Chain A
Amino acid sequence: GAGVSQSPRYKVAKRGQDVALRCDPISGHVSLFWYQQALGQGPEFLTYFQNEAQLDKSGLPSDRFFAERPEGSVSTLKIQRTQQEDSAVYLCASSSYGGARTGELFFGEGSRLTVL
């Protein structure tokens, strides 16, 4: 489809396992964001890419979290040694840089991570 695609939609991991979450943004969108949404909360910013450059990673909660976008399109969020507090929905969003006045973000449906 033409929207933001995220996989897997659901992931169950045992505590201590590594997980990788993938985001395929809208074709041509320069900007890509990752957000974390805990149950009953609003999204919290994790990191931002402009093309392949990670311009802001101030929201990553620990050094167990790592994100990359090596070719400026698909992005992967990796969580190492998962903990129960990592359980959340991870939302990916993209937008066209300097395009629409609003800088509107287009979101995927998210990847729901449950850590047991």
Chain B
Amino acid sequence: AQKITQTQPGMFVQEKEAVTLDCTYDTSDQSYGLFWYKQPSSGEMIFLIYQGSYDEQNATEGRYSLNFQKARKSANLVISASQLGDSAMYFCAMREGRNAGNNRKLIWGLGTSLAVNP
């Protein structure tokens, strides 16, 4: 069963506006971590933001914030003040298990292609 669902294959946003990229997940673990990565055309996956299942506050990293709704099992990424350089694929991923040091594998969604229009 698919554990990470990204329902938006493609999104458009006007430069300087905010955009929300959706991600829902499925797990029976109480402890897990959620990640967002950006993949530009160069191919490298770039880490954006992390949310732990026990974190009480939504994660923020600069222009990126994660709208974490645990009961709904959603972890949407919000990008504020979009820039042309934000055009890329965006992937949501999950790691089950509490201990980051376990370095368990990530389970990935299919991604959302974001295009920022000037």
List residues of A whose CB falls within 8 A of some B CB: 31, 33, 40-45, 48, 50, 56, 59, 89, 91, 93, 95, 97-110, 112
Contact, CB under 8 Å: B108 / A97: no
Contact of B47 among A50, A105, A108 (CB under 8 A): A105
* Chain B interface (Cβ < 8 Å from any Cβ of A): 4, 33, 35, 37, 42-47, 50, 52, 91, 93, 95, 99-103, 105-111
| Given A97-B101, A98-B101, A100-B100: A105 in contact with B106 (beta carbons within 8 A) | yes
Are B50 and A95 touching (Cβ within 8 A)?
no
Residues A95 and B45 in contact, CB atoms below 8 Å apart: no
Partner of A42 from the list B42, B99, B101, B108 (CB cut-off 8 Å) is B108
User: Within the complex, what minimum Cβ distance (angstroms) separates A16 from chain B?
Assistant: 26
B44 to A109, Cβ gap below 8 A? yes
B100 contact from A33, A101, A106, Cβ within 8 A:
A101
Which residues of B sit under 8 angstroms from A109, Cβ to Cβ?
Answer: 42-44
Which of A45, A95, A108 is the one whose CB lies under 8 Å from B44? A108
| Complex contact A103–B100 (CB within 8 A) | yes
Contact flag A102-B33 (CB < 8 Å), given A50-B103, A93-B45, A95-B103:
yes
- By beta carbon, the residue of chain B nearest A48 is B105
Taking a contact as CB atoms closer than 8 A, the residue among B33, B42, B105, B111 that contacts A45 in the complex is B105
Q: Check A41 against B110 for contact (C-beta < 8 Å).
A: yes
Interface contact B111-A42, CB-CB below 8 Å: yes
**In the complex, A102→B102 CA distance in Å?**
11
- The complex places the Cα of A101 from the Cα of B50 at a distance, in Å, of 9
Contacts of A40 in B (CB 8 A): 110
Kindly list chain A residues whose C-beta atoms are within 8 Å of the C-beta of B50.
101-102, 104
